[in-house]
Amino acid sequence: MIDQPTPESIIEELHRIRREISDRFSGDISVIAKDAADRLTRSGRPIWKPHPEATASQGADDCSHGTASPSPAHR
């Protein structure tokens, strides 16, 4: 039988890896993010990007920030 990792061990491993990455870059989140982006680019893996027309067509109608009146269906 294969030993299954416990949820605690998975979480502990995630925290350990996060600490290692943070220590490697002296906790500088901007350097950590740049390194991650560079590694992603070098990986050659495809990166999904939305079509510009799809994001442009989702105007203010799709985003409610409490400034617009509710639509008749939501009153």
- One DSSP character per residue, 31-72 reads HHHHHHHHHHHHHT-------HHHHHSS-GGG---S-SPPPG
pLDDT digits over 26-65, tens only? 999 999 999 999 999 999 998 888 888 866 666 555 555 5
Specify the pTM: 0.52
User: Would you state the pLDDT for residue 75?
Assistant: 46
Give the torsion sign (CA, 42, 44, 49, 20): negative
Higher-scoring residue by pLDDT: 55, 7: 7
User: Would you state the pLDDT for residue 31?
Assistant: 97
User: Would you state the pLDDT for residue 57?
Assistant: 62
Which burial class, exposed, middle or buried, applies to 58 when counting CB atoms under 10 A from its CB (0-12, 13-18, 19+)?
A: exposed
